[in-house]
């Protein structure tokens, strides 16, 4: 008597740890090429785990389609290539992640794509910066590391008036706080490594965009440049997404509590956090972020390397880690990490000085984080 196994119905998508998928014959192969979105052929083209991650983030960002990539940097690269080719010109917000600047200045410049940096106060009127070959503006929802908040709807209007595209890096905010596509952006990028995955165990990126042609083109870029993400890291990131909303609420609540404490501390010269009423973008951040201000903040102590080292050494369980957005609190130092490639004159002009420390606030009990910060501030 033949045995009939019951259908397998996993609650969680399995990890499809394979580099290639098989076909029965040429007829089935031709069916793939007729409708590649219905089948799988080669993991560089697509795989079930990467597609699940892309679909879930696309829903959160209200896009028409998305591709996941091997890192946040590859997502930035793909988004620029979505709209640019050799001979084109791009605009970039002056206060931006240092890796974005290096990519534009060193690598894309070699490919014939030039860049002009736009001060934050000029982002809403781009007429004096655009050229006939300008194709896009790259900017961040919340800038790294000084947390200036961009009025995305206003910048999108300025871009479209100049007939250029707006690409927004939404890593610091996450789609729980802001959805740039709904405010007029043409593409959104994330370092999935950060809040979307959330547990400091994934390196990944994503590009979400609008329009059938843009979706088709971004998939081609991912495939042809080999920017794809592995099944296992895709699976880990999907797992992280399941708690994204809960985590962002706790990150935000903790960060506000800590920012308020630091802003009143005599050894802290300045706090950069959009949830503080004294922040220049507070009202905008409150509306655009739906009363959530995120888990990232920066603060300035004395501009003295010895003082900074002493402070870092006095934090027993808050590590100095050159990344952000994990469930555990960590600190970073923009001058020596994310913005190391900028010359000192440029950094000083932006206000990124030796004493600026970036704090990625985790989801621990806020009293635990405050206790460590209090002790470390005592010794400097």
- Residues linked to residue 165 through DSSP beta bridges, in sequence order: 136
Whether 339 shows a pLDDT value over 90: the answer reads: no
DSSP string, 204-234: -EEEEE-SHHHHHHHHHHHHHTT----HHHH
Sorted by where each begins, the domain ranges of the chain are: 26-241, 244-378
Residue for token pair 């905008």? 284
Question: Which SS3 state, helix, strand or coil, does residue 11 take?
Answer: coil
How confident is the model over 162-187, as pLDDT tens digits? Answer: 999 999 999 999 999 999 999 999 99
Active site annotation includes 97: yes
Predicted confidence at residue 1, as pLDDT, reads: 47
Q: Is 281 a catalytic residue?
A: no
> Quick one: pLDDT at residue 347?
80
pLDDT in tens, 246-280: 999 999 999 999 999 999 999 999 999 999 999 99
Report domain 244-378's class.
alpha beta
Exactly one of 88, 169, 186, 281 is catalytic; name it: 169
To the query of whether residue 194 is one of the catalytic residues in this protein, the response is yes
> Sign of the C-alpha dihedral, residues 195, 191, 82, 224?
negative
Catalytic, 310? Answer no
Confidence of residue 4 (pLDDT cuts 50, 70, 90): low
**CA dist list (Å): 301 to 37, 232, 241, 250:** 53, 41, 35, 26
**Annotated catalytic residue within 32, 39, 42, 44:** 44
Residue pLDDT, tens place only, 49-104: 999 999 999 999 999 999 999 999 999 999 999 999 999 999 999 999 989 999 99
16, 40, 97, 195: the active-site residue: 97
Of 96-100, 122-126, 128-132, 136-140, least confident by mean pLDDT is 96-100
Answer for the pair 299, 357: CB distance below 8 angstroms, yes or no: yes
Domain 26-241 has CATH 3.50.30.10: no
Which one from 148, 165, 194, 219 is the annotated catalytic residue? 194
């Amino acid at each position: 008597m033949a045995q009939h196994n019951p259908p397998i119905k996993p609650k969680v998508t399995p990890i499809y740890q394979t580099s290639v998928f098989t076909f029965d014959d040429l007829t089935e192969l031709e069916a793939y090429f007729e409708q590649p979105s219905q089948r799988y052929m080669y993991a560089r083209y697509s795989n079930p785990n990467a597609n699940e991650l892309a679909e879930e983030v696309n829903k959160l960002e209200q896009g028409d389609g998305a591709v996941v990539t091997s890192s946040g940097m590859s997502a930035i690269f793909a988004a620029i290539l979505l709209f640019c080719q050799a001979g084109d010109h791009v605009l970039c917000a002056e206060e931006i992640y240092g890796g974005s600047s290096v990519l534009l200045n060193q690598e894309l410049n070699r490919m014939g794509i030039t860049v002009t940096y736009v001060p934050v106060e000029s982002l809403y009127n781009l007429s004096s910066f655009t050229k006939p070959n300008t194709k896009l503006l790259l900017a961040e929802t919340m800038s790294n590391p000084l947390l200036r908040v961009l009025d995305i709807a206003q910048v999108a209007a300025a871009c479209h008036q100049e007939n250029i595209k707006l690409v927004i890096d939404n890593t610091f905010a996450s789609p729980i706080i802001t959805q740039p596509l709904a405010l007029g952006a043409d593409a959104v990028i994330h370092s999935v490594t950060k809040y979307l995955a959330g547990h400091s165990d994934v390196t990944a990126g994503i590009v979400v965009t609008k329009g059938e042609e843009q979706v088709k083109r971004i998939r081609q870029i991912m495939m042809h440049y080999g920017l794809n993400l592995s099944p296992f890291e895709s699976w880990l990131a999907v797992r992280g997404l399941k708690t994204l909303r809960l985590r962002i609420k706790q990150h935000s609540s903790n960060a506000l509590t800590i920012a308020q404490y630091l802003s009143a501390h005599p050894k802290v010269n300045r706090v950069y956090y959009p949830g503080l009423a004294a922040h220049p973008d507070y009202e905008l951040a409150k509306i655009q972020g739906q009363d959530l201000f995120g888990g990232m903040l920066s603060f300035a102590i004395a501009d003295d390397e010895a003082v900074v080292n002493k402070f870092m050494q006095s934090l027993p369980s808050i590590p100095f880690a050159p990344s952000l957005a994990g469930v555990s609190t960590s600190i970073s130092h923009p001058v020596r990490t994310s913005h190391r490639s900028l010359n000192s004159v440029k950094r000083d002009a932006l206000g990124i000085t030796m004493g600026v420390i970036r704090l990625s606030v985790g989801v621990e009990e806020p009293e635990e984080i405050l206790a460590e910060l209090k002790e470390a501030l005592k010794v400097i």
